[in-house]
Amino acid sequence: MNKNKFMESYIENLQRITLKNFAETSDKDRYFALCDTIMELINQEWRNCKNRTRRSRKAYYFSAEFLVGRSLGNNLINLGIYDEVKEILSEIDIDFESIENFEDDAALGNGGLGRLAACFMDSAATQKLDMYGYGVRYREGLFKQKIENGFQVEGGDHWIKDGDGWSIRVESDSKIVKFRDQTVKAVPYDMPMLGFENEQVNTLRLWQAEPFEEFDFSYFNNFQYDKAVEEKNRAEDITRVLYPNDMQREGRVLRLKQQYFFCSASIQDMVSKYKRYFDHDLQFEDFSKYHIIQLNDTHPIIAIPELIRVLVDENGIEFERAVEITKNTFAFTNHTVLQEALESWPKDIMLEVCPRCFDIIKKLNENLVKEFKEKGLSEEAIDPYRIIRFDQVRMANLAIVMSKSVNGVAKLHTQILKDDTFKNWYKLMPEKFNNKTNGITPRRWLVYSNIKLSNFITEKLGSDDWKYDLTKLKDLEKYLDDEKTLEEINQIKFENKKELAKYILENEGISINPNSIFDIQVKRIHEYKRQHLNLLHIINLYHKLKKNPDMDFYPTTFILGGKAAPGYFRAKAIIKLANEIARVINNDEEVNDKIKVVFVNNYRVSYGEKLFPAADISEQISTAGKEASGTGNMKFMLNGALTLGTYDGANIEIFENAGVENNYLFGAKVEELNEIYDSYNPKEFYYKNEDIKDAVDTLLSGELNDNDSYMFLDIYNCLINPQGGEKADTYFVLKDFEDYKKTHEKINKEYSDRLTWARKSLKNIANAGYFSSDRTILEYAKDIWKL
Ligand code: GPV
């Protein structure tokens, strides 16, 4: 990059888009002008990629969520011009950080599933894989979380109200999407997905719903303006807002409309391009040779009947042939074993949204049933396989029949799919099932967000090859017994903790001690993730310190954060509990030099970038068997935190890679939980264990105040006093409490041996290579996509 040219064109852009003199421009102006300048810089390469890949086999990642976060810093890193641009800006007296902070997160996802899609986009481009992302351009991303009086309050997230510096509207590629009761226009917005320091620029294409005709002139001419506006709104409603339920199926018509909307537009896009560039193949003989679609969980499965519909109805392909093509085109990833997330759509709703797709699904189901009967299976034996049962379309079954690959996202998770969730399918078609352990992009989650550690690694390894091949971190092990290196690691962590402390003081108004242990749990709030186990332990610890002020104890700061689905009462109760515990403890002068509790407000990608580098302990405490993988666990590990975790999801693989002796494993394993499932009685633990009783009783003792919301009673009840046929403590919080507490005691003791701790930290960093999403995406490309 030519520095002078960049500065020139930046200032030119700034003045052109604002009509102001340089000195009069605001941070907002400066941010958007910088986006423009970068978009100009990459334009040529982006076009080159589009042209080069027109006739090549490509993977298409279909996902209802892409949790991209901010793009400015990441794009500069991937372009290899981060430092230069910072310098250029400082030469003209612009503070990079303040314009960086102007960027709103693109929060077009809820949590892990959406963030995984974003990490995959980064890694695919970095590995020079031709992968296209297809999704939804929600006008409102995931709600903004405010905490009022300890309660979560949701606010809007109109993330593009000031503009969108990273998208190009490609009007000419618009598609028409037809629902039973309405026809809308799908307009694509393309975001460039840059590879790391290579020439690759892939595309994330997000569809926005707009009225088919800007105004219905018949209404207009009849002076029915309100009707005309109503139609416009009804179209725009489809992509107005991201549904905020993580891991919870959503039965609303509008949700299915969203799904069908982006899947239909994407399939039409693929088919029309195929016809344009492969104009000799009118029979679509080679369609599946050039396209492989990866379905990110159940949300985009409606793309399957949609492809059949487009082939049959719009291109005259015979049904059976279209089915064959489709079966060779799709692959399916499952991301949870929780039943409440597995989607099924009532026949009525499907008929209301996309009747022709329902027809097709019905036919697929009939064919399947017929095939089974011919094989001699009874009606009953066929039941678990039916795509439609009791007038419900079971989306996972549809995907499994129609895909060439079915994968889970961590070893244990895939095993549970085979043994349990999809065991019937596995018996029938074992060859389809495979594992692809998740990963994270080291560019965003280390190179960009932890510059100090990143530079240190490069210096120690004598090269920055590790950014391209993260397994090279393994070479850091030669420093395991080098005291100077270990001290430097501690020093870097300390610097990061100071920065986080400053940020938390500014944003949460709580002062924390960077010399204390930073123990962090950030993720969506969910019972299976057991934030309440963490909180009950803090309550009990607090009481112990009150009783015994001279207790040997290393000061600890407990940091929690995460959003609760707006309709999930118990998750909101957990947030209130966290804030209430924080209020009581942080105001108690007898203990608040020993423990502090912070609930960070509005946890999101850009907050995570500040938290992961500063963690000593990574809390990964889900009930064994419930967290499919987890990816936050990997971000903490890569940044040198030790994992305090259960034998669940990818934690297991973290323990395997870094050594369980360098982390803190606790809690019951899946097999044990399966065995005791029916006989488990949490009350036994409650009566037998004083600490448990102390913590649980505190929920109702009056010491904590839930402002008459009955929230703490709800948490109490779910643990030991189940209501209305619910089972008590289904997530085994009380069962695991004692082991959790003991493990915390061990951590607290071992932390003061600072060199041993640093050695463990280094062990984790050095063995985080496996968890690069570069490795994951290459496995998809090799085993499933054959790219
Ligand atoms: I299904 N996940 C998510 O964030 N939202 C969902 O709707 C579903 C799954 C998550 C899992 O809970 C994590 O364990 C996993 O790491 C992540 O998906 C990515 O695979």
Tell me, in angstroms, the distance from the centre of ligand 1 to residue 563's CA: 14
Contact of 362 with 311, CB cutoff 8 Å: no
| Gap between the Cα atoms of 277 and 473, Å rounded | 43
Q: Measured from the CB, is residue 409 less than 6 Å from ligand 1?
A: yes
- 221 pLDDT band (50/70/90 cuts)? confident
**Is the CB of 33 inside a 6 Å radius of any atom of ligand 1?**
no
How far CA 29 is from CA of 12, 22, 305, in Å, comes to 12, 10, 45
Give residues with Cβ within 8 angstroms of 776, minimum separation 6. Answer: 120, 123, 436, 437, 438, 439
- Nearest Cα to Cα of residue 440 among 653, 291, 644: 653
Strands (E), 573-681: 595-600, 617-620, 642-645, 664-665
Read off the pLDDT band of 223 (50, 70, 90): confident
Taking residues 532-541, report their average pLDDT.
99
pLDDT at position 214, please?
66
Average pLDDT, the chain: 97
- 268, pLDDT greater than 70: yes
pLDDT per residue as tens digits for the range 422-463: 999 999 999 999 999 999 999 999 999 999 999 999 999 999
Provide the pLDDT for residue 218.
Answer: 74
Which residues, in sequence order, are bridge partners of residue 191?
204
Among 332, 336, 563, 780, which residue has the most ligand 1 atoms within 8 Å of its CB, making it the best to mutate?
336
For the Cβ of 627 lying below 6 angstroms from any atom of ligand 1, the answer is: yes
CA of 409 to the centre of ligand 1 (A): 9
Q: How far is the CA of 135 from the centre of ligand 1 (A)?
A: 17
Return the CATH number of 517-748, one of 3.40.50.2000, 3.40.50.720, 2.40.40.20, 3.90.1150.10: 3.40.50.2000
Q: Which helix (H) or strand (E) holds 135?
A: strand 131-136
Region 547-556: mean pLDDT is 97
Nearest CA to ligand 1 atom 6: 247
pLDDT band of residue 481 (cuts 50, 70, 90) is: very high
Catalytic residues: 335, 523-524, 529, 631, 635
Q: Mean of the pLDDT values across residues 495-503?
A: 99
Q: 253-277 and 303-315 are packed helices; what angle lies between their axes, rounded to 10 degrees?
A: 50
| Angstrom distance (rounded) from CA 744 to CA 499 | 25
Please state the rounded mean pLDDT for residues 106-124: 98
**What is the end-to-end Cα distance of the chain in Å, rounded?**
31
Give 275 Cα–ligand 1 centroid separation in angstroms: 36
**Cα dihedral 274, 278, 279, 280 sign:** negative
Closest CA to 557 of 589, 526, 585: 585
**What CA–CA distance (Å, rounded) separates 239 from 258?**
7
- What is the atom index within ligand 1 of the atom nearest the CA of 115? 19
Would residue 71 be called left, alpha or beta, if left means φ above 0 and alpha means ψ between -120 and 50 degrees? Answer: alpha
Q: What angle do CA 116, 122, 127 make, to 5 degrees?
A: 120
Cβ atoms within 10 Å of 203's Cβ, excluding its own: 23
Tell how far the Cα of 303 is from the centroid of ligand 1, in angstroms: 20
pLDDT of 614 higher than 70: yes
Question: How far is it, in rounded angstroms, from Cα 464 to Cα 459?
Answer: 8
Pocket of ligand 1, candidates 115, 123, 245, 247: which has the most ligand atoms within 8 Å of its Cβ, to mutate? Answer: 247
Q: Please state, as a whole number, how many other Cβ atoms lie within 10 Å of the Cβ of residue 474.
A: 17
Judge whether 634 and 650 are in contact, CB under 8 Å.
Answer: yes
Give the model confidence (pLDDT) of 157-170 as tens digits: 999 999 999 999 99
Mean pLDDT of the region 261-272: 99
Would you list the domain boundaries of the chain?
55-69+107-344+397-438, 517-748
**Confidence at residue 67, expressed as pLDDT on a 0 to 100 scale:** 98
Dump the DSSP string for 308-319: HHHHHHHH---H
DSSP 469: -
Give the mean model confidence (pLDDT) for residues 409-431: 98
Give the nearest ligand 1 atom to 649 CA: 14
**Exposed e or buried b per residue across 31-41, where buried means at least 16 C-beta atoms within 10 angstroms of its C-beta:** bbbbbbbbbeb
Quick one: which H or E segment has residue 42? Answer: helix 27-52
The phi, psi pair for 284, rounded to 5°, reads: 60, 30
- Amino acid at residue number 71: S
Rounded to the nearest angstrom, the distance between the alpha carbon of 134 and the centre of ligand 1 is: 18
Task: Indicate which atom in ligand 1 lies nearest the CA of residue 114.
Answer: 4
> How far apart (Å, rounded) are the C-alpha atoms in residues 126 and 27?
31
Cβ count near 770 (within 10 Å): 21
Question: pLDDT at position 215, please?
Answer: 58
Does the fold of domain 517-748 match that of domain 55-69+107-344+397-438?
A: yes
The 3-state secondary structure of 147-203 reads EECCEEEEECCECCCCCCCCCEECHHHCEEEECCCCEEEEEEEEEEEECCCCCCEEE
Say if ligand 1 is within 6 A of residue 608 CB.
no
Atom of ligand 1 nearest to the CA of 247: 7
d(CA 701, CA 694): 10
Q: Is 513 within 8 Å of 555 (Cβ atoms)?
A: yes
In the three-class reduction of DSSP (H, G, I as helix; E, B as strand; rest coil), residue 483 is classed as helix
Q: Give the pLDDT of residue 222.
A: 75
Question: Rounded distance, CA 727 to CA 709, Å?
Answer: 22
Atom of ligand 1 nearest to the CA of 630: 16
For residue 274, pLDDT over 70 is answered with: yes
Q: Find the mean pLDDT for residues 16-40.
A: 96
Ligand 1 centroid, distance to 113 Cα (angstroms): 4
Residue 97 CB coordination number (10 Å): 10
The CATH number fitting domain 55-69+107-344+397-438, selected from 3.20.20.140, 3.90.550.10, 2.40.160.40, 3.40.50.2000: 3.40.50.2000
Closest atom of ligand 1 to 245 CA is: 7
Count of beta carbons in the 10 Å neighbourhood of residue 608 = 24
The mean per-residue pLDDT over the stretch 669-695 comes to 98
- Among 67, 299, 335, the mutation site with the greatest number of ligand 1 atoms within 8 A of its Cβ is 335
**Which residues pair with residue 393 across a beta bridge?**
345, 388
Residue 628 CA to ligand 1 center (angstroms) comes to 7
Residue 564 has pLDDT above 90, yes or no: yes
| CA 27–ligand 1 middle distance (angstroms) | 36
> pLDDT value at position 582?
98
pLDDT band at 216 (very low <50, low <70, confident <90, very high): low
- Check pocket membership of 630 for ligand 1, CB cut-off 6 A: yes
Q: How far is CA 249 from CA 179, 256, 340, 347, in A?
A: 21, 11, 6, 16
* Whether residue 334 has its Cβ less than 6 Å from ligand 1: no
Using the Cα atoms of residue 528, residue 532, residue 536 and residue 541 in order, give the sign of their dihedral. Answer: positive
Q: Is the CB of 527 under 6 A from ligand 1?
A: no
pLDDT of amino acid 100 = 95
Q: Is the pLDDT of residue 224 over 90?
A: no
Average pLDDT over residues 97-105: 95
Q: Please report which residue ranges of 334-463 form alpha helices under DSSP H.
A: 347-353, 355-374, 379-382, 395-402, 411-416, 423-428, 442, 451-461
- Atom 13 of ligand 1, nearest CA residue: 630
Rounded mean pLDDT of 756-783?
99
Does residue 213 register a pLDDT over 90?
no
Write down the ipTM of this complex: 0.99
User: What are the strands of the beta sheet with 388-389, ordered from one edge?
Assistant: 344-346, 392-394, 388-389
Ligand 1 contact via 437 beta carbon (within 6 Å): no
709 pLDDT higher than 70: yes
Structure tokens at 431: 């060859």
Q: Does the beta carbon of 335 sit less than 6 angstroms from any atom of ligand 1?
A: yes
What does the alpha-carbon distance between residue 483 and residue 455 come to, in Å, rounded to a whole number?
A: 19
